[in-house]
Amino acid sequence: MLELDAMVKHFPFRDSLGRARGAVRAVDGVSLAVPKGSVLAIVGESGCGKSTLGRLALRLIEPDSGSLRFDGEDILALKPAALRSKRREMQLIFQDPFASLDPRMTVEAAITEPLILHKLHRGRQRARVAELLERVGLRPELARRWPHEFSGGQRQRIAIARALASEPRLIIGDEPVSALDVSVQAQVVNLLGDLIRDLGLTFVLISHDLGVVRQIADRVAVMYLGQIVEEAPAEKLFRNPRHPYTRALLAAVPGQGGALKLLEGDIPSPIAPPAGCRFHTRCPYAEAICREVPPPLVQAQEAAGQIHLAACHFQDTLPPATPIREAAADARLARLQSFFIPNREPTA
């Protein structure tokens, strides 16, 4: 239902005389399709272009080229007014709940605004706000409060309620829990999971936190320097990562125990990405061809009936991936829960 094709967005920068001096190639030819009612996660390091991709998918920024379709409709062809009314159906949740709420609007005003803009629930907007607050686990009496009176987790719930207000079918969550305390993250992730299931939302989760991705994503796309390097059903990607970068990301999740070789060096500059495979500068398996020929994103041979794409010349000959130590991860989660949950209910 959401289709991006060959999306490109470069941010040019100029010298003091206004001459173009190059461009940050934030998104460099990305194609994705998110089926109705499914959750696609986009993962990658900071600066890989995943937030830009999220903004492009909502046409909050204009792409340099590519096409964007929502339910088959060409979003890039919409006139400003038509695009504004289309925004009712596609919403965004931001990373930082301390920045995404207008400080001069009460909770009620913030959540009512989409209703006013799209002429929804006329005459019963107040009741609708109360419903939405309850839906995200906040007391409706809090509607008259100001954003500065809430904690990060509560603010994020308010932002979620605001995103839900216009009954969108698509929501893009840009790192929706990354700014929250670990103890609150789990609650908000659970809330998002419930909402996605109950409301049949199509959801794009932009995140660098593989733990969160694992909990709610159906499919995962791994981004590196503005391009997708691997895309697969979530459980397949976690069980059998085919790209060395994906493997490195998975190995970097804490609690894996083993002495896995972690990524060395920083992500190269997106202004002048490496020739050939963009990952070759950090890849432990890189050979001559990787420095010259960009690998195409191709379907894996062995993926029976499922779409599993990877962009690596050697994806079929890599040594078997070290399996994720699921037990270790689960134990860690249990430990965290036992640590945090009693704190929420102090022993009387």
Partner 1 sequence: MSSTAGSTAIETGESPASRALRRFMAHKLAMFGLIIVVIFVVAAPLAPWLAPFDPLETSWSRLRKPPSLTHLFGTDENGRDVLSRVLYGARASLMAGTIAVGGAVLIGVPVGLVAGLGGKWVDIVISRIADAMLSIPFLILAIALAAFLGPALENAMIAIAISASPIFVRLTRGMALEARNTDWVEAARAMGNPPWRIGLVHVLPNIIPPLLVQATLAIAEAIIAEASLSFLGLGQQPPSPSWGSMLNSAQRFIEGAPWLAVFPGLAIFLVVLAFNLVGDGLRDALDPRSQKR
Residues in contact with partner 1 by CB under 8 A are 58, 60, 81, 84-88, 91-92, 94, 96, 99-106, 113-114, 117-118, 134, 137-139, 142, 144-146, 148-151, 153-154, 157, 159, 162, 166, 187, 345
Min CB(26)–partner 1 separation in Å: 16
* Cβ-based nearer residue to partner 1, 57 or 220: 57
Angstrom distance (rounded) from CA 56 to CA 100? 18
* Cβ-based nearer residue to partner 1, 42 or 101: 101
Which whole-number Å values give the CA distances from 175 to 97, 136, 210, 225, 330, in the listed order? Answer: 11, 18, 11, 18, 22
* Cβ-based nearer residue to partner 1, 190 or 306: 190
Nearest to 234 by CA among 94, 105, 52, 43: 43
Min CB(170)–partner 1 separation in Å: 11
Min CB(185)–partner 1 separation in Å: 13
* Cβ-based nearer residue to partner 1, 1 or 117: 117
Min CB(334)–partner 1 separation in Å: 20
Angstrom distance (rounded) from CA 318 to CA 184? 39
Residues pairing with 127 in the sheet: none
User: How many Cα atoms occupy the beta-carbon half-sphere of 223 within 13 Å?
Assistant: 31
* Cβ-based nearer residue to partner 1, 57 or 286: 57
Min CB(296)–partner 1 separation in Å: 34
Token reading at 293: 């020929």
Nearest to 267 by CA among 54, 45, 8: 45
